[in-house]
Amino acid sequence: MTSVLICMHGKSATAMRDSAEMICGKQEKCAAVDFKMGQDLADFKAQLKKEIAELDGSPICLTDLKGGTPFNTLVTLTKDFPDLKIITGTNIPMLLQLFVYRTQFR
């Protein structure tokens, strides 16, 4: 099963995961990392690095905005995790489809 990391501004990542799990049920190999206002970038990057490592180093990463801090930070982490896949413009229907079909990847 392909792992999933949701990373967005504010509380959006956690809220989106929770909303999708209300529909699809609790998901394994899925983490949500919120980028909080005023959060130190080094701490944010360390948090992402830890979650990615726990998710086997090659999750599909879903972000809100291309060019935003969550996206840019994930891009820098591709040096350490070259198998990261980053998708921007994430919405709940997209996440639901990923949850349903991710067992078919790899």
If we measure between CA atoms, which residue out of 57, 42, 44, 51 comes closest to residue 9? 44
User: Rounded to two decimals, what is the model's pTM?
Assistant: 0.94
Distance of CA 15 to the CA centre of its chain: 12
Question: What pLDDT, on a 0 to 100 scale, did the predictor assign at position 106?
Answer: 59
Q: Residue 65: which residues within 8 A CB-CB, separation 6 or more?
A: 9, 71, 88, 89
Instruction: Convert the pLDDT of each residue in 21-73 to its tens digit.
Output: 999 999 999 999 999 999 999 999 999 999 999 999 899 999 999 999 999 99
